[in-house]
Structure 1
Amino acid sequence: MERMKHMKLTVTSYNICAGKSYQHYPDKNQAFDPSLTPFFSLVPAAQTLLGIKPQIVGVNEVDYMANRSGHVDMAAELGNMTGLEGVFGKALHLKGPAFGEGSLYGNGLLSQFSLLEKEEYPIENPKRDEKEYYEQRGILRVKLDVAGGITVFVTHLGLSIHERQNGVMLLCRLLDETKGPVILMGDFNMRPWDFLHNPLRDRLTDTALVLGVEPATFPSCSLNYPDCKIDYIYVSKHFKIRSFYAVDSKASDHLPIVAELEL
């Protein structure tokens, strides 16, 4: 297992919107054309990541063998395009002619380091309320062969508060069972002041909060974009946080966020 002293890591969390690109949308403060539609291509997201040069990337809204995105393993494909190893973590089965039989959707991890372990954890669905949108959510856990073993969790929490509560409860249980350096990242669908951050902040450090920076990450393309922060990178006490920032890009409807770390 690879061990290094004072190792520097660039970590990115990126909701790639299943490869839907908004690069042809107007720039900030320009008139918006409602007839515009995004196009499917991983190239813009890959180019954005190549500019960042991360060693570890957590990705959300990832297709697996779906018709709409070219029937590819999107995590592996994005890994190939960026020189990283990509692994997919299932959250749900996609249904309908746009997706095709056997297509999946979930999270992914890209890394320059070898994978030692991989687990997928479904988040329990709450009791349904017809007024709210629900979607099966999941957590991807990967252990990387670096610095004695770094455990990375990637998740995309729900739009419903009850979905997010269930997700945070499961994350806390998994974190309490994990030893050694930990990175948790993803689209949490909650603002920095949401009370559901509290149990996570009791266990890990919010890389943006500790530096006093909270750059907005969503949406990437609107008249006054972006206007809210819903994407996060948390780390265990093993890491020193050097910097945190968002990258201006319309390769997806989210901006990628970057934490520069030292271990």
Structure 2
Amino acid sequence: MIHALARSSPTTALTLLAALAVAAAPTSPAAAAASQSLTVLTYNIHHGAGADDSLDLDRIARVVKDSGADIVGLQEVDRHFAARSDFVDQASWLADRLGMHLVYGANINEDPARSGGSRRQYGTAILSRFPVLDAHNTLLPHPREGEQRGLLAADINVRGTTVRMLNTHLEHTSQTERLAQADAIDKVIDASGRPTVLVGDLNATPDTREVTTLTKHLRDQWRAVGDGNGYTFDVSNPRKRIDYVLTSRGIGARSADVLDSDASDHLPVRAEISVP
């Protein structure tokens, strides 16, 4: 099942389904026994270009497969976008290769390169081993006219439990824009009152205002259960932690690690969480 989501108004509300129990503390052994484990991955794939600058989408697929992830948030995903990715629909290619359900959010959506061709799109994707119940992409504010970014949302049926997955990629050139985008995401989370998993490349380190805006209502899985600095960028000399798995109340923390791979310019982050 493929959900292809085009451009929508930044003010459009996310209408999604979710029902999860609420619990603020990390998962205890007793609680873990009564919950189910879910492995989540976030990965900025740099349109399939690795540290060697070679385009190799199969390397990305192998990283995702080897991670054992149940749900994956991908950033910098091309769809018929440019010669840099051979005009391939990377989102569908990866979903087919991995046998996973797909949701795609086109944050840049341009006319075809040639008459009769497919629209040129660039954005984020969610891959899931479990069925997708509902999905929506909301464009985020960019007050200084930076690159358009979005918040991709999918409600996923995980063995009878509805899990909301959000995926984003904040602006890299302007803290002003990142703050506006983080505020917009925080309002969505706060207004919904529903447990959520947010993944993505926030282009900001943990103690910056844009990240702390999001961690007012969400827990940083790395800080809860990760070991070490968690650096994810850049792959040749990791020195920044800018890729995150954040969760709201009701979702427990089991483990978090950064995977070693040169398939992109970012390292992927994997987190094992627990849901009712």
**1:34 is matched with which residue?**
none
What's the RMSD between the two structures over aligned residues?
Answer: 2.4
Read off the aligned partner of 2:68 and give its amino acid letter: K
**1:229 is matched with which residue?**
241
Which among 42, 45, 49 is matched to residue 57 of structure 2?
42
* 1:201-244 Cα distance to aligned partner (Å, 9 max, x none): 111101011236431101112xxx11111100101121111111
**1:29 is matched with which residue?**
none
For 1:212-227, list aligned pairs within 5 A. Answer: 213=227, 214-221=229-236, 225-227=237-239
Q: CA deviation at 1:118?
A: 0.9
Which among 80, 91, 101 is matched to residue 85 of structure 1?
101
Q: CA deviation at 1:179?
A: 4.1
For 1:171-250, list aligned pairs within 5 A. Answer: 171-211=185-225, 213=227, 214-221=229-236, 225-250=237-262
- 1:11 maps to 2:25: no
SS for the counterpart of 2:231 is coil
Q: What is the count of residue pairs matched by the alignment?
A: 240
Which runs of 5 or more residues in structure 2 are unaligned?
1-17, 21-32
Larger CA deviation: 200-209 vs 89-98: 89-98
Read off the aligned partner of 1:19 and give its amino acid letter: G
Read off the aligned partner of 2:58 and give its amino acid letter: V
TM-score, length basis structure 2: 0.80
Q: CA deviation at 1:21?
A: 2.1
**2:7 is matched with which residue?**
none
Q: Contact 1:16–1:61 (CA<8 Å) still a contact in 2?
A: yes
* 1:3-33 Cα distance to aligned partner (Å, 9 max, x none): 99511111000000011122xx4xxxxxxxx
Q: CA deviation at 1:249?
A: 0.4
- 1:170 maps to 2:199: no
Q: Contact 2:226–2:257 (CA<8 Å) still a contact in 1?
A: no
What is the rounded CA distance, in whole Å, between the counterparts of 1:96 and 1:65 in structure 2? 8
Which runs of 5 or more residues in structure 1 are unaligned?
26-37, 129-133
For 1:15-94, list aligned pairs within 5 A. Answer: 15-22=44-51, 25=52, 38-68=53-83, 69-93=85-109
Overall identity of the aligned pairs, in %: 30
Flag the 1:189–1:93 CA change in 2: closer, same or farther, 3 A.
same
TM-score, length basis structure 1: 0.84
Q: Contact 2:169–2:202 (CA<8 Å) still a contact in 1?
A: yes
Q: CA deviation at 1:72?
A: 3.2
